[in-house]
Amino acid sequence: MFATLKFAALLLAVVVCWATQDYDYNDAEIDEEPTLGDSPYGSLWPLPQKVQISTVVFKLSGASFHIFDAKASSSGASCRLLQNAYRRYDEYIFTSSRKQGQNKSKKALASDMSELQVWITSADSECDSYPSVTSDESLTQYSLCKLYQYFNNNSILHLFIFSQKSINRTDIHDFPRFAHRGLLLDTSRHFLPIKVILANLEAMAWNKFNVFHWHIVDDPSFPYLSRTFPQLSQHGAYHPYTHVYTPSDVKMIIEFARLRGIRVVPEFDTPGHTQSWGKGQKDLLTPCYSGASPSGSFGPVNPMLNTTYDFMSMFFKEVNTVFPDAYVHLGGDEVDFSCWKSNPDIQKFMEQQGFGTDYSKLESFYIQRLLDIVTTTNKGYMIWQEVFDNGVKLKSDTVVHVWMGNKVEEELQKVTEAGFTTILSAPWYLDYISYGQDWQKFYRAEPLSFKGTDAQKKLVIGGEACLWGEYVDATNLTPRLWPRASAVGERLWSDRDVRDLNDAYSRLAKHRCRMAYKPSVQPLSACCGHSEH
């Protein structure tokens, strides 16, 4: 349904849609500040592929307006995904007035829009399915109002929530430019409470992100509570009870995301970034040496022991059952060879394998065995670019994640020339902050500016904004992330030619107000002033 709410023939018996009516990866400067004015597209974000807004205006009344399934729709009351979406939209639009009982005594007027009928024409509504990279998110709108994608991303709100529930007649044809529009959150360096994760999934839906890249564990902590290896979080989390994600927590997050058309792709990064793993799993990490004696510290995963691969096999079988997405991110970045070099047993193993002193070959040895293990679970895998750079043999459907900021275009050219699907994050590390409106450099980034054939460029399926957690926790995550990530959302959704900074600034300022708006806390006018962020 995620694709699949193919509203190819959406019967929208109402709603008319609202409105007021090549990048250099190393370029961190903006030539001039954009001017805040009015956009002909109001606060639409991200901008649809094609949109035509008329001056004909209708009103929505909380006294009469409701959303329901058309009689001929292949989906009905049993479709939890749609019914959940209907309730959310109703609350978004009418929360304040209905909570205060303002509409109970009011009668609908003849000019009011009274209903929205949703007609699903697909034979299989896929109500119980999970979104995937092949989901069809396109919409051909034959009626008065726009209902995006799979009814899960709040775009309809962009059309009227700030216009006092007045709606302009609007025709829209829309689809995403890129299939993979992701956001990475790091829950290892600082533990993020579930409510923070859910709030950001909601914000992702408002900005048409469809992949939550969950960097769930790393060196500092192991908050994933494994049923097979509970000692990992028992000894590796910041706290074994308060700072862990239980199986029920993970299930809830995945379902919350599913109902908003968002995939959850977990990352379990090895052989580096694994210090927290070693606290709960004996002999998993390599003992480091100082001269001829162990130093008491540990390095990357020990690649010479069979027990390492026995553990990984059992662990990733569990991951396969817990996370339903077709892909898992296996990391593979920033492996420090110094500990391996210091260990005499590793040195002997290197000699036996004929690796000489090239420790990247040892890394490749480990990664190759891990990829073979994950392949047996029938999951695809994503890896950071170093795995490709080091010449590891990869399956043809491997997704290579380009993140290193130097020679990005050259890297994209090499990866796609080798025939691998690619996603880009290099220009979108949002944990790096600067004074002023740095959203503009994220907005100006162009994923397809590298030299390559059309076939190569089709292999770039999208990108991800990354917010690493060294200096981010529950207290500052949301204001640091939004609306800066919104700029990435539009770059990955809208047409390549949508690049007008002044128009974007106008829409983004209004969009920020919409995201920040809390009817029970502050009046609308308190938010919708000039925004510098």
Q: Return the active site residues.
A: 334
Tokens of 441: 């450099």
Q: How far is CA 482 from CA 186, 430, 443, 509, 510, in A?
A: 16, 10, 13, 11, 13
Entry field: residues in the chain: 533
What's the sign of the alpha-carbon dihedral 65, 67, 73, 77? negative
Distance separating alpha carbons of residues 132 and 4, to the nearest angstrom? 11
Which residues contact residue 407 at a Cβ distance below 8 angstroms, ignoring those fewer than 6 apart?
A: none
Q: How far is CA 300 from CA 275, 286, 309, 334, 365, in A?
A: 8, 6, 14, 10, 13
Distance separating alpha carbons of residues 137 and 474, to the nearest angstrom? 31
Q: Determine the 3-state secondary structure of 441 from DSSP.
A: helix
Which residues contact residue 150 at a Cβ distance below 8 angstroms, ignoring those fewer than 6 apart?
A: 1, 2, 3, 4, 5, 81, 131, 135, 137, 261
Which residues contact residue 325 at a Cβ distance below 8 angstroms, ignoring those fewer than 6 apart?
A: 130, 132, 263, 264, 265
Q: What share of the chain is helix, strand, coil (3-state, %, to 5)?
A: 35, 15, 50
b/e 331-346 (16+ beta carbons within 10 angstroms → b): bbeebebebbbbbeeb
Provide the CB-side half-sphere exposure for 137 (13 A, CA): 27
Pairing of β 460-467 and β 293-301: unpaired
CA 59 to chain centre: 34
Strands of the sheet containing 112-113, edge to edge, are 112-113, 50-60, 166-174, 139-140
Q: Residues 126, 492: contact at Cβ < 8 Å?
A: no
- Per the rule left: phi > 0, alpha: psi between -120 and 50, beta: everything else, 177 is alpha
Listed residue (55, 58, 80) closest to 1, CA to CA: 80
Q: Residues 485, 182: contact at Cβ < 8 Å?
A: no
Q: Residues 341, 359: contact at Cβ < 8 Å?
A: yes
Distance separating alpha carbons of residues 113 and 209, to the nearest angstrom? 30
Tokens of 386: 């170093």
Alpha helices in 210-333 (DSSP H): 231-236, 247-258, 275-278, 306-322
